[in-house]
Amino acid sequence: MKKVLIKNSLSGIIQIVVNMILVFITLPVFIKMLGIDLYGIFSLVLVIGSLNTFTNLGLNNALLKYIAEQGRSVESNIDIVVAILIIILFVTPFTVIAIVFKNFVLLNILSIPFEFLQSTSNLFIWVLFSNFILMLGQVFKSILDGLQKIYVSSLLQVLYNILYWGLILIAVLLGYSLNGIGIAIFIASIFWFIFTVGSALKFWGKIILPKFSKNVKVSAKKQLSYGLKIYSSGLISFLYEPLTKILASHFLGVSAVAFYDIALRLRWQLWGLISKIFYPLFPFIAEQQDYSRIRKYVHDLEQKAIVLIIPIIVLAIFIMQPVISLWIGNNVEIIATTAIFIITAHLIGSSTVIPNYQFLMAKDHADKTIVLQLSNVFFNVLFFLSTVYFIGYYALIVGNVAAILSSFLLSLYYQNKYLNSLIFDNIMQLLKLILAFVILLLINLPLAFYITSAQLKIIMVVSITITTTLFLYKYLKLITSEDITRYFGKNNFFAIKLAHFYS
C-alpha cells in the first residue's frame, strides 16, 4: 500500500510541476500581447469554471468513496451509470440557462466592461461547453482514483494542462483574442475526456448492469445523501475565491482581479504540490476501518507537512519580488506582496490540515467541511467589506488571511474531537519549528538587502535556504532516519543517503 501511495503522490507532483512551467511561460505572453485588463476579464470568466460547484452535487467524491469501498462490483457499476445520468440531468439545463442569460451574467454579476462584451460572450460559451465535458469526465476520473490508479489520472491531467496552456499560448501568439482562447480551452477538454474515458474503461472492464431499473433509486439516494454534504461544502467554497474576484471587479476594477489572480496562481502551484502529495490518502482513508491507523497517518503527515512548508514560506518571502520582476515585469510590488501573504496563509492554514480534511470527507463527517467553508466565506467577506474603503486593494489580502486562520483553528478543533489528535506531540516540537523559521529568516536577510541582481538573489536564497534547512532539521531532530525510511523506503539510493545523513 505504501508503494502505491508514493507512486500516486509522485505522479501528482509531476502534474503540478508541469502545470507550473506552463503557467510561467504562458501568463507573461498573455499579459504582454493582450494586456492586464483582458487577463483580468479572462480570470473572471473562468469563475464559470466553478460551474461544477453548482451542478455536480458532490457526486465525484461520493463515487470515489463508494468505488474505493466496494471495488469492482455490480453495485459500483450501477453507481457509475447513475452518477453520469444525474450529472447530465442537472448540468444540461444549467448550461442552457447560463447561455441564455450570458449578457446579464457578464455585465451585472462579473462587471465586464461593455466594450469587451462580444469577445467575452464567446469565451463564456466555450468555457461552459468545456466545463460540461470536464464534469462528465470526472466520473471516469473517479473510477481511476477509486482503483488507486491516481498516477494514471495525474498523467492524463498533465496531458490536459499541456494542451490547455499550450493551445492558449498558440492562440495568443497567432493574434487571436478571447474567442480563440475559448476554442483552445474547448479542444483541450475534448482530448482529455476521450483519453480519460478510454483509460477508465480499460482498467475497470465492462460495466454490467443487472436489474438496473430496480437499483437506480437506491444508488441515486445513496450517492446524493453523501454527495450533497460535499456539494454543500463545494457550493459554499464558490463564495470564497470566485466571489472575491467578483467583489474585486465591483469595488476595484478588472486590473485588481488580474493582480489577485496572478498571486492565486502562484499559491495554487505551491499549495497544489502539497495537496497532490496527500490526495492518494483520501481513497486510502475511505478503505480503512481502524481509526487508530487513520489517526497515526493523519497526525504524522500533518507534522511532515509543516516541516516541509517552513522553508517554502521563507523562500516565498525572499524570492517572490525578484521572481515577479523577471516573470511579469510590471506591477511587481503589489503582485509580490499579495502572493507572499496569500501563500503563507494557505500553506500554514490549509496545507497542514489537508489529511484531516480528507478524513472528515471520507468518514461521514463531510458536514463539518461545510462549517469550515462557511467560516472561510464569512470572514473573507466580512474583513474585505470592512476594510476596502480604508485600504483599497489590500482588503483582498486581509480577507484571505482572516478566512484561512479561522478555518485552520476549526479544523484543529475537529481533529482533536474525532481523532483525539493535534499536529504537534508537545510544545517543544512547535518551538523547534519556530526557531528554524527565525534562523532561516535571519540568514537570508543580508541577501535581501545587499544583492541587487534578481537572478543572483534567487540562486543565493534558494541555495542557502535548502542547505541550512537540511542541517537545521538534522540538528533539531525535526527529521529522522526513521522518517526517511517510512516514506521513501530503504532500497533506493536517495533514501539510503538521506537516511544516513539524518541518522
pLDDT of 55: 47
User: What average pLDDT score do residues 210-224 get?
Assistant: 62
Work out the pLDDT band at 135, boundaries 50, 70, 90: confident
pLDDT of 481: 77
Which of the pair, 355 or 61, is modelled with greater confidence?
Answer: 355
Query: Does residue 107 surpass a pLDDT of 80?
Result: yes
The single-letter DSSP state of residue 56 is: S
pLDDT of 3: 55
Instruction: Say if CB 476 and CB 432 are below 8 A apart.
Output: yes
Backbone angles phi, psi at 239, to 5 degrees: -80, 10
User: What average pLDDT score do residues 474-482 get?
Assistant: 81
Work out the pLDDT band at 166, boundaries 50, 70, 90: very high
User: What average pLDDT score do residues 319-342 get?
Assistant: 89
Query: Does residue 49 surpass a pLDDT of 70?
Result: no
Q: What is the pTM of this model?
A: 0.74
Task: Give the tens place of pLDDT for each residue, 259-269.
Answer: 998 888 888 77
Task: Give the tens place of pLDDT for each residue, 298-329.
Answer: 777 788 888 888 998 999 999 999 999 988 88
Query: Does residue 144 surpass a pLDDT of 60?
Result: yes
Work out the pLDDT band at 495, boundaries 50, 70, 90: low
Query: Does residue 57 surpass a pLDDT of 50?
Result: no
Query: Does residue 208 surpass a pLDDT of 80?
Result: no
Which of the pair, 233 or 116, is modelled with greater confidence?
Answer: 116
Report the C-alpha gap between 363 and 289 in whole angstroms: 9
Element (H, E) at 236: helix 212-238
User: What average pLDDT score do residues 392-408 get?
Assistant: 91
Nearest 5 degrees, angle CA 130-CA 91-CA 223?
Answer: 120
pLDDT of 164: 92
Report the C-alpha gap between 416 and 400 in whole angstroms: 25
Rounded to the nearest 5 percent, the helix, strand and coil shares of the chain are: 85, 0, 15
Task: Give the tens place of pLDDT for each residue, 362-377.
Answer: 766 767 877 888 888 8
pLDDT of 254: 85
pLDDT of 152: 84
- Residue 84 burial (CB < 10 Å; 0-12/13-18/19+)? middle
* One-character DSSP codes across 365-433: -HHHHHHHHHHHHHHHHHHHHHHHHHHGGGHHHHHHHHHHHHHHHHHHHHHHHHHS--S-SSHHHHHHH
SS3 226: helix
pLDDT of 388: 92
Report the C-alpha gap between 411 and 432 in whole angstroms: 23
Task: Report CA-CA distances (Å) from 445 to 107, 252, 436, 469, 471.
Answer: 47, 34, 14, 15, 19
Q: Where are the domains of the chain?
A: 1-228, 239-423, 424-503
pLDDT of 5: 54
